[in-house]
Every structure is written in structure tokens, then in C-alpha cells.
Amino acid sequence: MSGAGGVSGASGAAGKGTAGSTGGGNAAGSGSTGNCATPPTGSALVGWAAQAGMGVTTTTGGGDAAPQTVSSLAALTSAVSGTAAKVIYVSGFSNLIGAADNVAGDVGHLNVTWHHDWWADNVNQRMPRTRAGKVHLFNNLFTAAGNSYCSNAGQGAASLVENSIYKGVKAPFQVDSNSVGLVSKGNTFPGSTGNTTGSGTAFTPPYSYTPDDTNNLQASIQANAGPQ
């Protein structure tokens, strides 16, 4: 499985593969939908978008209104009348590979490659968080200021991270004691703090690839990731 050219953030904009998005498919993030449900504690934002043909009255006229953001359920309630508005709340937890530890059926099936993706504003963690599989990240960009950690190697996971930029973030790497390990090669960490070395072992990818140099990588990803 490969995820390429996505943008993960907390905007909730469909089609970008952002955290909380209902569309996209590129580095798709985690979020939930419901009918004006109370967001979980710690959610960064609440967004709403009126659904077509439902007669929803919104501050922008109803119908296919442009997604907007509010800071609380009270603000959402005042902006939308009726229950046909699709609520998108953002937890800041972006990408999870493997839902639980020690799932026998996951072994050998959670092998994922991510390249030329951008984890941006309001993403807190799981960029990605991994279990059981072999996960290869190369030529990615991380600018999620205020995060708790970025890339994790969890139970049984082996991660190889190459030629990526972790800019102004906390804990670029988190390596769990029950993982195989996370190996870092050719990455840069301008303005970042915490673990930048990784530990343990990883694997050799079974395919040919040539990572881009990191010198012009940020500009290239920001110009090309997501829908064009």
C-alpha cells in the first residue's frame, strides 16, 4: 500500500486527505462524523458542511455550503439549524496502522509506503503510528507545530524513514520498546526537538526507488501535495 502526495492537517476540507476529512485518499487522516454530536475531549476544531438537498439552513445559505470551522458545540448549534449537517471533528490523531497490539492476522499484511506527503497544521500525533508491519517513509514533510510526537514504531513494527524534513516539531521519532525499531537515514530536523535518531533495526524495501534530496523538498511538496 502506498500513500503519495497527500496533505494531513486539521482543516476538515474534503478531498485533501486531511485529518477529519471524509474524502481524499491521500494520507487520509482520522476523524469522525455524526449529527451534531459532542466532539471528544481534546478535539482541535469542529467543522460542518451542509448536505445537498436536505433543506439545512446555515449562515451561508444552506445547500452545499462551504465547510467552516467553529470552536465549540454551542457555536456549531448557533450556526446550523436542523440535524442534517454533517459534523466533522478533528482529534489531531492522523494515521494509525494497526488498531491493537498482538493481532495475529495483522502480521505480514500492514506493509505501507508513504512518500511526498505533508503533515501540517493542527496534527498532534500518529504521522503515522504503526504496529505489526514494515513501514517505509521517504521524502515527507512534517510542519505540525505544537504536536506531541510525529512518527511512531509500535508493537512489532519496523519503520524506515528517509530523506524527510521534520521542521519545528516535537519528538520526530517515537520508538516503542516492543517494536522492531525505527531507522533514520538522511532526514533533517530544523527547529525540532526530541528524538531524531531512532533505534533498533528496520528492513530493506523490496522495490527500487531513489529518494529526492532534501534541499528543495519542502517547496516541492508544498507546491504539489494534495489536489491540484
Helix (H) or strand (E) holding 78: helix 73-79
pLDDT at 226 over 90: no
pLDDT tens digits, one per residue of 199-225: 999 999 999 999 999 999 999 999 998
For residues 19 and 28, what is the distance between their CA atoms, to the nearest angstrom? 6
| Residues of the chain above pLDDT 90, percent | 53
Alpha carbon 27 to chain centroid, angstroms: 6
- State the average pLDDT over residues 20-35: 29
Q: Which pLDDT value is given to residue 7?
A: 53
- Computed over every residue of the chain, the mean pLDDT equals 73
Structural domain boundaries in the chain:
1-11+93-228, 31-90
Q: Give residue 176's pLDDT.
A: 97
Q: CATH fold of 1-11+93-228, please? A: Pectate Lyase C-like (2.160.20)
Range of 52-66, 67-81, 112-126, 204-218 with top mean pLDDT: 204-218
Q: Which three cell numbers stand for residue 87?
A: 459534523
Q: Is the pLDDT of residue 35 over 70?
A: no
- The string of DSSP codes covering 142-210 is E--TT-S--EEE-TT-EEEEES-EE-S-B-SEEE-TTSSEEEEES-B-TT-BS--SEEE-----SS---
Whether the CB-CB separation of 121 and 97 falls below 8 Å is answered with no
pLDDT tens-digit readout, 115-159 = 999 999 888 999 999 999 999 999 999 999 999 999 999 999 999
In which order are the strands placed within the sheet that holds 96-97?
A: 96-97, 129-130, 151-153, 173-175
Exposure string for 208-228, b = 16+ CB within 10 A, e = fewer: eeeeeebeebbeebeeebbee
